[in-house]
Amino acid sequence: MDYNIDTLNNIKSGMTVIVREIRGGKNVRNRLMEMGIIEGASIHVVTNSGGPLIILVGKSRFAIGQGIAQKILVNILRNDVSQD
Amino acid sequence: MANLTVALAGNPNTGKTCLFNNLTGAKQHVGNWPGVTVEKKEGKILYEGKLIKIVDLPGTYSLGAYSEDEIIAREYILNEKPDIVANVLDATNLNRNLYLTVQMLEMGANVLIVLNMMDEAKKMGIEIDIEKLSSALGVKIVPTIASKGKGIDEIIKTIIENSNMKRDTEFKVDYGEKVEEQIDKLVQVLKKDREIIAKYPVRWMAIKLLEDDNNVIGQIQNTNNGKEIIKHVRSLRKALEKELGVNLDSCIISKRYEFIEDLTEQFVTESKKDIVSPTDKIDKIVTHKILGIPIFLAIMWLVFTFTFSFSAPFIEWVEYGFSALSKWTETALISIGASQLFISFIVDGIINGLGSVLEILPVLFMLFIAIAVLEDSGYMARVAYVMDGPMRSIGLHGKAFIPFLLGFGCNVPALMSTRTLENKRDKILTILANPFISCSARLPVYILFTSIFFSKNQPLIISSLYLIGILMAVISIKLFGKVLPKNEDSSFIIELPPYRFPTIKGVLIYMWEKVSDFLKKVGTIILAAVIIVWLLSSLPFNVEYASSESFIGRISSVIAPIFKPAGFGTWQAAIALIFGVLAKEIVVSTLGVVYKGGIYGLNTAISQHFTPLSAYSFMVMTLLYAPCIATIGTIKNETKSIKWTVISVLYGLIAAWIISVLIYQIGLRLGFM
């Protein structure tokens, strides 16, 4: 599959991405994973307009600060980018 | 003694508390925001002659060691060894919910799965092969719809049938060849330690050690070979991480998810129905970048307008009622020839003292109805989102705003909700600032004084007091934020539950819980204070009631001069503030006792002893000075530090004195009276 890599904080509203890697300290990493934000999970970005992001992971919605979003590395599908 | 003990565990927002209420018939409030159950709660049911104790554990995503609620839940399961852990799952969100289940199974708990929200799952086109999932996990599963009370009997029956169940095979997640090899070796080492075998499931312990779980490491340190084991594990971890090329803790978590996905792929089918959820539509508006904060402020304005304007006529009724009651009682007591002393005790003490506090009842009804609607609808979590920006500018994040909002009701649950903050620094800052948020117990004081001195612009004056409280909270956060060492791990993440229509039953349960707490307080601590104040006012025997010659007059005359620069140097004001530390309503009840003459008499006395300016200064003092006893106790509990508790009390006292003196002195110079 062809994709670009970016951090979650740079993903625009309305896009869906796949988690590639979670960086940062053990606490943040584990907490995210336990909430279902794991490698391979798909994240739909509902809102990203400067403040915290609103994301949809599976059936759960989360508000997540830009700081942590920066630690989540995601894959963007190419055709998603061209659509944008 | 209970025959059976059942622990209720599950993720936040799975309907756990609702289920608890259905099971036990208890009237516990069910909120729609993460972290409603921060303390474990107990209830009992009697079923076919068996007494079943049910313990509602805090809602958690995991049983790691990252937050206090997780540790509470985990230690309960490990140490108290309940006969059954009823694990409530949200059927619409199985993958994530099963993560907690897997952890409990690894701990060797006797798990029963309660598959809740089956109706919502059906609506979303999710089908679960319950029988096969059940046999794959080796666990009984009961489908339920807790909100409609469906499946409750089934749960109780299954609990009784399975209370003695022993698994024939140990539950195992396969962590991959290399990790398994090390787990096995560690198990051999741990098995040599009798202390560990007696207390913990050994394989679970080995996995937790490899995960580098701080809590487990802390506990094992004190066992005989603890230090050696920890050293051994450290080198193991390093070697494994080098070999695998990933963080071992992440690897272990991923393997658990792989195990779960393997199950759900087999037994859960989803026919894709694309419904635009109403939640997203509402969120578009209320979490809007520009509109979000104005909408929140408008909602708060509505809450307070609703509270005060709806309760105003009722307050007059209550006032009139108590005044009539005291007159009637006095006449009745005189006619049966009761002694002067006894009449004074009943009328001046009990009726006037408590009546002045009970006047607040209508306000409480309205305020808690409003807060319940906010909580149950799911809006509370959105407030955290919307307020993240402003909170960041004072060095906290959005989640720390929820305790402040709850503080308008009562500071005690507000302080307890700081448990959902992962970061110690955020927690201390929030705790130190929270007592300045004007809780409902301060309202009797505001209402009494503003109705006498500021009847024309009562809303304005009361709002200004709330604002002073908020301002002081902000200043305190800034101030202590400078002193406390910064740590970078202040990350903001909160689940936004789907919006739900608050049910009338739910709102009434919440309101009644809070109002009955208040009534209990009136019947116990406030009543006791009223009696003590009356006694001290009446003794010694030959002095005039509540004169400066009475005990109370003599004691408080010593303290009164401290408050003179703030405009209220009378001994009556001093004694009211002293007793007010027990509960802030007591400020009013004490004034009611020492200024005798019924509720209307109290009004006359206050208008003689205070000026508008000194009344304002007195209200500010009541708002800011030492938190009440219950709050002080909670501060101690939550900070686990006497140092911070003392700092909090002293800081409040000093700040309150300085600010009310400033207000009075500046006001005088500006020509206010």
Q: What is the pLDDT of residues B406-459, one digit of tens each?
A: 898 888 888 888 887 878 888 999 999 999 999 988 988 998 899 899 988 888
For the segment B470-498, the average pLDDT, to the nearest whole number, is 85
B18: pLDDT confidence band, cut at 50, 70 and 90?
Answer: confident
Question: What residues contact B543, with CB distance under 8 A and at least 6 apart?
Answer: B549, B550
Joined together, the tokens standing for residue B651 give: 């800081």
The verdict on a CB contact (< 8 Å) between A54 and B287 is yes
User: Which residue in the set B64, B257, B398 is minimally distant from A30, CB to CB?
Assistant: B64
Contacts of B212 in chain A (CB under 8 A): 26
pLDDT of residue B624 exceeding 70, the answer is yes
Joined together, the tokens standing for residue B179 give: 């990790």
Question: What residues contact A43, with CB distance under 8 A and at least 6 apart?
Answer: A8, A11, A16, A17, A18, A19, A37, A55, A56, A57, A72, A74
User: How many CA within 13 A on the CB side of residue B465?
Assistant: 29
B633 alpha-carbon distance from chain centroid: 14
- The C-alpha of A78 sits at a distance from chain B's nearest C-alpha, in angstroms, of 24
The verdict on a CB contact (< 8 Å) between B489 and A28 is yes
pLDDT of residue B469 exceeding 90, the answer is yes
pLDDT of residue B233 exceeding 70, the answer is yes
- The C-alpha of B533 sits at a distance from chain A's nearest C-alpha, in angstroms, of 51
The verdict on a CB contact (< 8 Å) between B494 and A26 is no
| Of B7-16, B80-89, B548-557, the least confident | B548-557
> Measured between CB atoms, does B397 come within 8 Å of chain A?
yes
pLDDT for the residue B436: 95
The verdict on a CB contact (< 8 Å) between A30 and B398 is no
User: Which residue in the set A29, A59, A67 is minimally distant from B250, CB to CB?
Assistant: A29
Residue A29's closest chain B neighbor by CA?
B250
pLDDT of residue B94 exceeding 50, the answer is yes
For the segment B187-196, the average pLDDT, to the nearest whole number, is 84
Question: What residues contact B317, with CB distance under 8 A and at least 6 apart?
Answer: none
pLDDT for the residue B490: 62
The verdict on a CB contact (< 8 Å) between A31 and B422 is yes
Greater confidence (B563 vs B602) lies with B563
| Second-level CATH architecture of A3-83 | Roll (2.30)
User: Which residue in the set A34, A46, A63 is minimally distant from B253, CB to CB?
Assistant: A34
For the segment B174-188, the average pLDDT, to the nearest whole number, is 90
Tell me the pLDDT of chain B averaged across its residues: 86
- The C-alpha of A15 sits at a distance from chain B's nearest C-alpha, in angstroms, of 15
The DSSP line for B516-550 is HHHHHHIIIIIHHHHHHHHHHHH-STTSPTTSTTS
Joined together, the tokens standing for residue B145 give: 């719809």
Mutate to test the interface with B, among A19, A20, A23, A27 (most CBs of B within 10 A): A27
- Return the beta strands (E) in A1-84 as ranges: 3-7, 16-22, 42-47, 53-57, 60-64, 72-77
Quote the CA–CA distance of B65 and B515 in Å, as a whole number. Answer: 35
The verdict on a CB contact (< 8 Å) between B492 and A67 is yes
In chain A, domain spans: 3-83
A–B CB contacts, 8 A cutoff, strictly below: 106
pLDDT of residue A1 exceeding 70, the answer is no
For the segment B118-124, the average pLDDT, to the nearest whole number, is 88
Closest to A34 (Cα-Cα) out of B65, B13, B212: B65
Percent of residues, chain B, with pLDDT higher than 70 = 95
The verdict on a CB contact (< 8 Å) between B250 and A67 is no
The verdict on a CB contact (< 8 Å) between A63 and B212 is no
Contacts of A33 in chain B (CB under 8 A): 250, 253-254, 257
pLDDT of residue B252 exceeding 60, the answer is yes
The verdict on a CB contact (< 8 Å) between B95 and A27 is no
Is the distance from CB of B498 to CB of B275 less than 8 angstroms? no
User: What are the pLDDT digits (tens) for A27-76?
Assistant: 888 889 988 999 889 999 999 988 899 999 988 899 999 989 999 999 98
User: Which residue in the set B249, B250, B494 is minimally distant from A62, CB to CB?
Assistant: B494
- The C-alpha of A11 sits at a distance from chain B's nearest C-alpha, in angstroms, of 17
Angle between helices B458-483 and B612-624 (to 10 degrees): 40
User: Which residue in the set B95, B280, B381 is minimally distant from A46, CB to CB?
Assistant: B280
pLDDT for the residue B273: 62
User: Which residue in the set B489, B492, B495 is minimally distant from A52, CB to CB?
Assistant: B492
Greater confidence (B41 vs B238) lies with B238
Is the distance from CB of B179 to CB of B210 less than 8 angstroms? yes
Residue B381's closest chain A neighbor by CA?
A63
Contacts of A51 in chain B (CB under 8 A): 289, 385, 388-389
pLDDT for the residue B91: 92
For the segment B136-163, the average pLDDT, to the nearest whole number, is 89
- Chain B, window 70-89: residues with a beta carbon less than 8 angstroms from a chain A beta carbon: none
Quote the CA–CA distance of B585 and B219 in Å, as a whole number. Answer: 44
The verdict on a CB contact (< 8 Å) between A61 and B247 is no
Residue B399's closest chain A neighbor by CA?
A63
- The C-alpha of B61 sits at a distance from chain A's nearest C-alpha, in angstroms, of 6
- Chain A, window 39-78: residues with a beta carbon less than 8 angstroms from a chain B beta carbon: 39, 46-47, 49-52, 54, 58-65, 67-68
What's the residue count for chain A?
84
Query: What SS3 state is found at B99?
Result: helix
The verdict on a CB contact (< 8 Å) between A29 and B66 is no
User: What are the pLDDT digits (tens) for B313-355?
Assistant: 888 888 888 888 888 888 898 888 878 888 888 887 788 778 8
Contacts of B384 in chain A (CB under 8 A): 63
User: What are the pLDDT digits (tens) for B513-544?
Assistant: 888 888 888 888 888 888 888 888 887 777 77
pLDDT of residue A84 exceeding 50, the answer is no
User: Which residue has tokens 């305790």?
Assistant: B403
Q: Which alpha helices (H) appear in B484-628, and where do they start and end?
A: 504-521, 527-538, 551-563, 571-580, 585-594, 598-609, 612-624
The verdict on a CB contact (< 8 Å) between B495 and A35 is yes
Distances (CA, A) of B75 to A59, B21, B72, B83, B638: 29, 23, 5, 15, 18
| Of B32-41, B208-217, B277-286, B394-403, the least confident | B32-41
Contacts of B62 in chain A (CB under 8 A): 30, 34
pLDDT of residue B29 exceeding 90, the answer is no
Element (H or E) spanning B458, and its range? helix B458-483
Residue A38's closest chain B neighbor by CA?
B254
User: Which residue in the set A26, A46, A60 is minimally distant from B212, CB to CB?
Assistant: A26
Greater confidence (B539 vs A23) lies with A23
Residue A70's closest chain B neighbor by CA?
B491
User: What are the pLDDT digits (tens) for B270-317?
Assistant: 876 666 678 888 988 999 888 999 999 999 888 888 888 888 888 888
Greater confidence (B228 vs B612) lies with B612
Joined together, the tokens standing for residue B552 give: 């109370």
pLDDT for the residue B165: 73
B61 alpha-carbon distance from chain centroid: 19
Q: Which alpha helices (H) appear in A1-84, and where do they start and end?
A: 26-34, 66-69, 78-83
User: Which residue in the set A22, A47, A59 is minimally distant from B92, CB to CB?
Assistant: A59
The DSSP line for B172-202 is -----HHHHHHHHHHHHHHHT-HHHHHHS-H
The verdict on a CB contact (< 8 Å) between A46 and B283 is yes
pLDDT for the residue A82: 42
pLDDT for the residue A83: 44
Domains belonging to chain B, first-starting first, are 4-162 (3.40.50.300), 177-270 (1.10.287.1770), 293-484+510-669 (no CATH)
- The C-alpha of B459 sits at a distance from chain A's nearest C-alpha, in angstroms, of 34
- What single-letter amino acid sits at B275? I
- The C-alpha of B423 sits at a distance from chain A's nearest C-alpha, in angstroms, of 11
- Please write down the long-range contacts of B183-190, taking CB distance under 8 Å and 24 or more positions apart: B183/B207, B183/B210, B185/B236, B186/B210, B186/B232, B186/B233, B186/B236, B189/B229, B189/B232, B190/B229
Mutate to test the interface with A, among B96, B264, B393 (most CBs of A within 10 A): B96
Query: What SS3 state is found at B1?
Result: coil
- What single-letter amino acid sits at B167? R
Residue A37's closest chain B neighbor by CA?
B96
Residue A39's closest chain B neighbor by CA?
B254
User: What are the pLDDT digits (tens) for B354-410?
Assistant: 887 888 888 888 888 888 888 888 898 999 999 998 998 888 888 899 899 889 888
pLDDT for the residue B25: 72
Closest to A80 (Cα-Cα) out of A44, A56, A40, A39: A44
Tell whether omega for the bond before B540 is within 30 degrees of 0, i.e. cis: yes
User: Which residue in the set A34, A39, A68 is minimally distant from B61, CB to CB?
Assistant: A34
Specify burial of residue B302 (Cβ count, 10 A radius: 0-12, 13-18, 19+). Answer: exposed
The verdict on a CB contact (< 8 Å) between B422 and A27 is yes
| Of B203-207, B275-279, B480-484, B505-509, the least confident | B275-279
Closest to A60 (Cα-Cα) out of B503, B493, B88: B493
Element (H or E) spanning B53, and its range? strand B50-56
B130: pLDDT confidence band, cut at 50, 70 and 90?
Answer: very high
User: Which residue in the set A22, A51, A58 is minimally distant from B389, CB to CB?
Assistant: A51
